[in-house]
Amino acid sequence: MTTKVSVPLSLKWEEDTLYLLNQQLLPGIVQYENLKTVEQVAEAITSLKVRGAPAIGLAAGFGMSLAALSIQTDDITEAKETLVEAKELLAKTRPTAVNLFWVLDRIEKQIQQAASVEELKTLLIHEAIRLYVEDESVCHRIGEEALKVLPKDKPVLTICNAGSIATAKYGTALAPFHLAAERGEFFSVYACETRPVFQGGRLTTWELMQSGVDVTLITDSMAGHVMREKEIGAVIVGADRIANNGDVANKIGTYTLALCAKAFGIPFYVASPLSTFDRNTLKGEDIVIEERSADEIRTINNTPVAPSNVNVYNPAFDVTPSELITGIITEHGIIYTPSEETLEEFFSLLK
């Protein structure tokens, strides 16, 4: 039996306008902003109104469509120059999630093909929509794969938000919980609040509650205690970039969870689409880690929680070495004991 559950969406494209859920306002205000320019999309990515690796990429795809729609000239060379600038603007927004660059490359291939400005506009909109539709189906398949390995009789722990609002729909790490809710199956989820900007506390709890999933919020520092006391059965997280040796960059705090999970012998899964694999980056140390503003740590909602001039180090992501990862759950199955060799084998079977 399937139940109709409400899985929230991060973005929608309707009548040449991008409607974007402003995640900065969640959970208090559920507001879709209407974006009409590529500059607005770039600002929305930088300020975390839209966030999560796949959703950043999808927003950038629609941002390129908006840039194309704004072109007034019939000169295709001039039009393509405008798009080079739009692409550069989007590429500068956030460095770590590789999906952004993967989408921009897919869009670039369409730009190369266009022979007229009209064709350019059509090709870009179609590609952005195709990326969106593909992502929903990919996330659904990741959810199905995850359901094969996650325990239902013990709670599962997650961090950040690798959910529906971080993708086109369903999410990666949260996809199994949404699918289970649709089928009337029960999961108990513990969500780390995810300092400094609370993607776990503000977004994951809200999103899972929309779907009717049983979710309990903890602070990040409670994770080890909760793993032991609540007998966590598995940890599942998303990814922003996966290096060729299986090292995973994801939200800051993921590495600590992986170390704790190892200490307790708890399976540690990464749920990720193939678009998050960066086969050109050899190992985790080569991944560029975004550093964000000090005020994300010094203040909460503009209220000081530390001296205003204290030194701050604010990396948005960390790298979990592949040895700590039980398996990477993709839309094409699970890569167990990720390493350069197992990734190579997995990708060669897909060819």
171 near ligand MRU, rule: CB under 6 A: yes
Query: Least separation, in Å, of the C-beta of 294 and ligand MRU?
Result: 16
Candidates 105, 153, 240, 278; catalytic one = 240
Query: Least separation, in Å, of the C-beta of 131 and ligand MRU?
Result: 14
Pick 47 or 73: Cβ nearer ligand MRU: 47
Which of 125, 166, 180, 189 binds ligand MRU (CB under 6 A)? It is 166
Pick 178 or 251: Cβ nearer ligand MRU: 251
Residue type, 144: E
Which of 10, 93, 188, 250 binds ligand MRU (CB under 6 A)? It is 250
Q: Residue 232: in which H helix or E strand, if any?
A: none
Q: Residue 169: in which H helix or E strand, if any?
A: none
226 near ligand MRU, rule: CB under 6 A: no
CB 42 within 8 A of CB 90: yes
Which of 18, 41, 68, 97 binds ligand MRU (CB under 6 A)? It is 97
Of 130-138, 165-173, 220-228, 319-327: span binding ligand MRU (CB under 6 A): 165-173
Tokens of 48: 């975390």
Which of 172, 211, 244, 320 binds ligand MRU (CB under 6 A)? It is 172
Helix axes 53-69, 117-149, angle to 10 degrees: 170
**Separation CA 177–CA 167 (nearest Å):** 15
Length of the chain: 351
163 annotated as ligand-binding = no
- Closest of 2, 31, 6 to residue 209, by C-alpha: 6
Which of 103, 147, 150, 160 binds ligand MRU (CB under 6 A)? It is 160
CB 254 within 8 A of CB 261: no
DSSP 2-59: --------SEEEETTEEEEE-TTSTTT---EEEE-SHHHHHHHHHTTSS-SHHHHHHH
Pick 90 or 166: Cβ nearer ligand MRU: 166
Pick 207 or 240: Cβ nearer ligand MRU: 240
Query: Least separation, in Å, of the C-beta of 67 and ligand MRU?
Result: 22
199 near ligand MRU, rule: CB under 6 A: yes
**Separation CA 30–CA 24 (nearest Å):** 10
240 is annotated as an active-site residue? yes
199 annotated as ligand-binding = yes
171 annotated as ligand-binding = no
156 near ligand MRU, rule: CB under 6 A: no
Q: How far lies 161's CA from each of 194, 224, 243, 319, 347, in Å?
A: 9, 19, 21, 17, 27
Return the residue matching tokens 């189906």: 137
Pick 111 or 208: Cβ nearer ligand MRU: 208
Pairing relationship of beta strands 241-242 and 248-251 according to DSSP bridges: antiparallel
Site residues for ligand MRU, 228-247, by CB under 6 A, read 238-240
145 near ligand MRU, rule: CB under 6 A: no
**Mask for 26-65, x = binds ligand MRU (CB under 6 A):** -------------------------xxxx-----------
Q: Write the CB contacts of 288 (distance below 8 Å, at least 6 apart in sequence).
A: 95, 96
**Separation CA 179–CA 83 (nearest Å):** 38
Query: Least separation, in Å, of the C-beta of 312 and ligand MRU?
Result: 17
Can you give the binding site for ligand MRU, defined by CB under 6 A? 51-54, 97, 160, 162, 166-167, 171-172, 199, 238-240, 250-251, 316
Going by the annotation, the residues of the binding site for substrate are 51-53, 94, 199, 250-251
User: Catalytic site residues?
Assistant: 240
